[in-house]
Structure 1
Amino acid sequence: MNRRNFVKNNVLTMSALGLGTGLWGQPVKELKADKTFNMDYAPHDGMFANSAGKDFIDQIKYMYDKGFRSIEDNGMPGRTPEMQSKIGETLAKLNMRMGVFVVPKGGNGANTLALNKQEHLDIFLDGCRKSVEIAKRCNAKWVTVVPGDFARHLPVEVQTGNVIDALRRGAEIFEPHGIVMVLEPLSDSPDLFLRTSAQTYEICRGVNSPSCKILYDIYHMQKNEGNLIKNMELTWSEIAYIQIGDNPGRQEPTTGEINYKNVFKWLNKKGYKGVLGMEHGISQPGKAGEDRLIAAYRESDAFM
């Protein structure tokens, strides 16, 4: 699963669904460059390539001008150390936050923590150590971990214990640096071990570390379990990070079935001050699609 490529390949595509309410067919209003949002939304590299150019640093500055105060970059480990530092310096100058990046080989179908194999654990822990150095360069606090696939020949309780043991080792690496490893349940494949917020909550409680929390991706959780606000309420003490994407289509808010204005209103009432990563595509192509993306967030953010 290449999450960075998903976002970059989809930000310029056009949805044929035409679902949702609010923005379709309406003119885009001129936005004040200095207006911030009520919540802290974080775009990805490529989301404003038509408006700001292909250089990520220029895109970050454009994001700032449009009111965003954080970014995400799943593929940060694939950038050169020099570029990682440059991104971190740019964010510091603009007083912006760095959202998640994915721990290198932090868990996938070929490297599953549920199996309790030493070679898989070694790969994971090496990725954790590398992530500490990357995080220092780009001023990151959160890193994404996916524990990998089910080991179907083992009882699920044994697999859960194996995952907890591995994540405790990872937390030992991150904790001294104040870095939070956020576990993400996904909907991409039924083979994935981590599927629901309640399951992830149980694992975080088992690891019992401030460096092991939940990444609640609203798109994936709408597909896997629904009942979004109730499930976030139940697992709230372990949620440290949130990502966004409407369903169906995995595009910006207002294009699908999720009432993001109500979700954001609830998060605001809960006092959530963290990042909301914009891990989705864009429903319309070109600069007009990027303007529409901003307008969608303005509409969904207007809950006050």
Structure 2
Amino acid sequence: MKRRNFLQKTALTGGALSMGGALTYAAIPNTSAEPHKFNLNYAPHLGMFEELAGKDPIDQINFMADQGFTAFEDNGMMKRDTALQTKMGETLAKRGMTMGVFVVDKGGNMANTLAAGKQEYIDIFLDGCNRAVETAKRCNAKWMTVVPGGYERNLPIGVQDAHVIEALRRGAEIFEPHGLVMVLEPLSDSPDLYLQNSDQTYMICKAVNSPSCKILYDIYHLQKTEGHIIRNMDLTWDEIAYIQIGDNPGRKEPTTGELNYKNIFKWISEKGYDGVLGMEHGNSKEGKAGEQAVIDAYKQVDDFL
């Protein structure tokens, strides 16, 4: 081969390799930057960063870790393929992330109300608890959300309380040997829901009297139903095992509503809380810019030291 032809061929090949390398790198998220160091363990969920990370659940978890998030939650984990549950758990372990809550499958928030005391409803709940144990093993989870259902309005409230407490005691018996914790979530979605306030949930946890039955304090829901967030968290603190986040109105990221999350997070940190804070809210803006706005909002409100 003549030197001139050799040099031309080398230049073309080198250019192609260079271009190919650039294209390949551009398709891979940049992980060279150091992840942000958050003070608390905020947990995003699937779909929150789908535009930036892609649709694959594992890619999304890795993206969260690359941004500095140290936890993850997935309400629908029980309905996912068992192989994906395992893979998600393995990815979380590899990235040093804590698995947050998933929802115990008992048929929906309003369905199969434990307040009714009906055996068929209790059986559905206990079956969900048993299946939740297996799911938790696959994805390295510790906490599972439980919503007792709606009111049984033809019964006195004290009788409803007793029915709920008895059912939850039986659920706790399933979780205790495995070191798992069901967290009861008071909700603001409907006046027909049995569990709505923090003091009511506190009373139930005290009555169940198990390390496997605690409070999930969802700040968004409880701002709507009772307010006085810091005061009421303080009153019920010894039974709170998990916290969720959402600003009000709108249920979007912190800084978009009326709650002073920087003060709330500062207070939570000063209480010594080292658990998970689930980001159970939507994004206030669409697209990649909206997803970046969520990340930026958490950096802002987490800067409380």
Q: Same fold (TM over 0.5)?
A: yes
Which amino acid in the other structure matches residue 48 of structure 1? F
Inter-partner Cα distance in structure 2 for 1:210 and 1:98: 19
> Which one has a larger percent helix, Structure 1 or Structure 2?
2
Structure 2 residue matching 1:303: 3-state secondary structure: coil
Q: Which residue of 2 aligns with 1:160?
A: 161
Alignment map for 1:154-193 (pairs within 5 Å): 154-193=155-194
Which amino acid in the other structure matches residue 115 of structure 1? A
Which amino acid in the other structure matches residue 261 of structure 1? K
Q: Which residue of 1 aligns with 2:253?
A: 252
Structure 1 stretches (4+) deviating beyond 6 angstroms? none
Per-residue CA distance 1:93-134 (angstroms, 9 max, x = gap): 111110000001166322000000000000000000000000
Q: Which residue of 2 aligns with 1:292?
A: 293
Inter-partner Cα distance in structure 2 for 1:60 and 1:286: 18
2:146 equivalent to 1:145: yes
- Percent identity over the alignment is 69
Q: Which residue of 2 aligns with 1:65?
A: 66
Per-residue CA distance 1:52-93 (angstroms, 9 max, x = gap): 100010011010010001101000011010000000000111
Per-residue CA distance 1:30-73 (angstroms, 9 max, x = gap): x9542220010000001111101000100110100100011010
Which amino acid in the other structure matches residue 170 of structure 1? G
Q: Which residue of 2 aligns with 1:242?
A: 243
Q: Which residue of 2 aligns with 1:112?
A: 113
Gaps of 5+ in 1: 1-30
Per-residue CA distance 1:185-214 (angstroms, 9 max, x = gap): 000000000010000000000000000000
Which amino acid in the other structure matches residue 270 of structure 1? K
Per-residue CA distance 1:256-275 (angstroms, 9 max, x = gap): 00000000000000000000
Which amino acid in the other structure matches residue 225 of structure 1? E
Which amino acid in the other structure matches residue 228 of structure 2? N
Larger Rg: 2
Which amino acid in the other structure matches residue 40 of structure 1? N
Q: Which residue of 2 aligns with 1:272?
A: 273
Which amino acid in the other structure matches residue 232 of structure 1? M
Q: Which residue of 2 aligns with 1:26?
A: none
2:213 equivalent to 1:212: yes
Per the normalisation by structure 1, the TM-score is: 0.89
Inter-partner Cα distance in structure 2 for 1:241 and 1:268: 13
2:23 equivalent to 1:42: no
Per-residue CA distance 1:4-34 (angstroms, 9 max, x = gap): xxxxxxxxxxxxxxxxxxxxxxxxxxx9542
Inter-partner Cα distance in structure 1 for 2:108 and 2:125: 7
Alignment map for 1:6-85 (pairs within 5 Å): 33-85=34-86
Structure-2 change in CA distance of 1:107 and 1:204 (3 Å): farther
Which amino acid in the other structure matches residue 164 of structure 2? V
Contact 1:40 1:275 in 2 (8 A): yes
Q: Which residue of 2 aligns with 1:194?
A: 195
